[in-house]
């Protein structure tokens, strides 16, 4: 899949290069040439001058014309003077001799493909006036190592920093402003390649979101592996999809009492995560046995990858998020859930998982639900062998589950806080009280050879068998 993505990106880059070469007028660097490049009136609001050293200077006031590049692709340096308010689409596309660019505060927008394919561009500084960065703006700037993004940026278009594989650092001055940027996708955020974020020159490791920030946007800290901890104040109410995805160095996340919404994959792929903490008075979420759940215990959101040993999923859980247990170090998982479906990738990468308990209410196990669970050897099923054969298990990615030894009729002891009544042998009515109605029901079951005989429910004398002795013992106890 990654190979296909990379090949697709290379095709897009080739298309961008061809577009810049064929659709935009070009001219090699010459001695002291000049002209206009504005987008207002007759275009004279902006002028350009290219000197004999290859330095391009753009001056004036207002907007730059889109898809217009009379200075060609051989420029070696560019000076954008204060007063210019936009960088036109494709303005410096494939200018392979450019090594650094500084965009002044007067500029409010950087057009699509503006610097695409500038293969030797190493440093970019974006002023505080820029609010939008267009799609593919720095696509394929494969030598780009450092980018400074001003605190005025509100949105960055799709693939704006895609294939900027040399990036090592992203520099900002306002973490609150960064949290609100609308990123168009994972490779729109330069952190996807850089992995390290610097705030006022200091590497961000222990991140404290400032009070007053109400939301953390989608992809905001995607792949920021330099982070080790994140603390959110009470003002934060929502965490966007993929906000902290792939932060492999992240060990601890603390949610304030204001968080009411957590997006998909918001804290996933954090292979070093050992703890998630939630303010005690948070009305929507809680942590139980080290696992993040909704307050009503109906949705399980995340089991930290660093959690080890045994974990029993509460019976109240009706939904488990995709990838919720990915790469966890658990060795035994008890699936005592109220859902009938185990979704794809739910336990993928749990390479140390050795034992699995599944309740008989589960009827579907999707593809890759247990992929890469190499050590899984034993499955304990609370139903009968006949019931297990009715469970639909997708073969793709579940080979270890299918090859495991299955132990049937497993008796799962209730937990102290389990809302279900404990199983009382002989209580066929399920009301928690033994009566003659149960005796009659047991005789009826015994008289039908095809009827299901659950030892946990019907083995009254505890000899491991269900037969007439159990019915007679129950009758004698009730008539004594």
252, 277 contact by CB (below 8 A): yes
Helix (H) or strand (E) holding 335, with range, is strand 329-335
The dihedral formed by the CA atoms of 40, 42, 48 and 52, expressed in degrees to the nearest 10: 160
Q: Give the right CATH number for 290-414 from 1.20.140.10, 4.10.910.10, 3.80.10.10, 3.40.50.300.
A: 3.80.10.10
Place of tokens 């939008």: 132
CA angle 302, 308, 310 (to 5 degrees): 90
Where in the chain are all domains bearing CATH 3.80.10.10? 1-204, 290-414
Tell me which CATH homologous superfamily contains domain 1-204: Ribonuclease Inhibitor (3.80.10.10)
Residue 408 near residue 383, CB atoms below 8 Å: yes
Kindly give the confidence (pLDDT) of every residue in the chain, 480 residues in length, as a single tens digit, with 9 standing for 90 and above: 444 444 455 455 445 544 454 444 444 444 579 999 999 999 999 999 999 999 999 999 999 999 999 999 999 999 999 999 999 999 999 999 999 999 999 999 999 999 999 999 999 999 999 999 999 999 999 999 999 999 999 999 999 999 999 999 999 999 999 999 999 999 999 999 999 999 999 999 999 999 999 999 999 999 999 999 999 999 999 999 999 999 999 999 999 999 999 999 999 999 999 999 999 999 999 999 999 999 999 999 999 999 999 999 998 899 999 899 998 999 999 998 878 999 999 999 999 999 999 998 899 999 999 999 999 999 999 989 999 999 999 999 999 999 999 999 898 877 666 655 556 777 777 666 788 888 888 888 888 877 776 776 777 877 778 888 888 887 788 887
Q: Starting at the earlier edge strand, list the strands of the sheet with 33-36.
A: 33-36, 46-50, 55-60, 77-80
The pTM assigned to this predicted structure is 0.82
């Amino acid at each position: 899949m990654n190979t296909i993505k990379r090949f697709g990106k290379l095709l897009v880059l080739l298309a961008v290069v061809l577009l810049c070469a064929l659709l935009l007028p070009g001219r090699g660097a010459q001695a002291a040439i000049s002209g206009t490049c504005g987008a207002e009136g007759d275009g004279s609001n902006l002028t350009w001058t290219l000197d004999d050293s290859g330095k391009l200077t753009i001056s004036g006031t207002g907007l730059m014309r889109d898809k217009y590049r009379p200075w060609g692709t051989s420029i070696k340096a560019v000076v954008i003077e204060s007063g210019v308010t936009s960088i036109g689409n494709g303005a410096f596309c494939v200018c392979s001799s450019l090594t650094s660019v500084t965009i002044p505060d007067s500029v409010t927008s950087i057009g699509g493909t503006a610097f695409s394919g500038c293969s030797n561009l190493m440093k970019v500084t974006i002023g505080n006036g820029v609010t939008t960065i267009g799609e593919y703006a720095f696509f394929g700037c494969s030598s780009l190592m450092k980018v400074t993004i001003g605190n005025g940026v509100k949105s960055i278009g799709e693939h704006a920093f895609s294939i900027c594989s040399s990036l090592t650092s992203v520099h900002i001055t306002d973490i609150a402003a960064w949290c609100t940027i609308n990123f168009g996708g994972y490779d729109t955020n330069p952190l996807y390649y850089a992995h390290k974020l610097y705030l006022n020159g200091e590497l961000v490791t222990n991140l404290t979101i400032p009070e007053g920030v109400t939301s953390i946007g989608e992809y905001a800290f995607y792949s920021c592996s330099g982070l080790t901890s994140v603390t959110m104040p009470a003002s934060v109410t929502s965490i966007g999809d993929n906000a902290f995805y792939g932060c492999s160095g992240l060990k601890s996340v603390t949610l304030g009492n204001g968080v009411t919404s957590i997006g998909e994959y918001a804290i996933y792929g954090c292979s070093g995560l050992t703890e998630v903490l939630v303010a005690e008075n948070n009305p929507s979420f809680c942590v139980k046995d080290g696992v993040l759940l909704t307050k009503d215990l109906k949705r399980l959101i995340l089991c930290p990858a660093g959690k080890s040993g045994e974990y029993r999923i509460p019976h109240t859980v009706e939904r488990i998020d995709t990838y919720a247990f990915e790469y966890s170090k658990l060795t035994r998982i008890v699936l005592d859930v109220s859902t009938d479906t185990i979704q794809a990738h739910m336990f993928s990468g749990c390479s140390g998982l050795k034992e699995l308990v599944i309740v008989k209410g589960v009827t579907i196990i999707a593809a890759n639900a247990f992929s890469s669970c190499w050590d899984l050897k034993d499955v304990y099923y609370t139903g009968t062998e006949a019931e297990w054969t009715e469970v639909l298990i997708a073969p793709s990615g579940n080979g270890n589950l299918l090859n495991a030894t299955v132990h049937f009729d497993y008796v799962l002891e209730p937990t102290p806080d389990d809302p279900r009544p404990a199983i009382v042998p002989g209580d066929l009515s399920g009301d928690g009280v033994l009566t003659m109605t149960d005796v009659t029901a047991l005789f009826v079951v015994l008289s039908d050879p095809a009827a299901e005989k659950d030892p946990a429910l019907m083995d009254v004398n505890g000899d491991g068998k269900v037969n007439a002795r159990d019915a007679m013992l129950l009758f004698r106890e009730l008539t004594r």
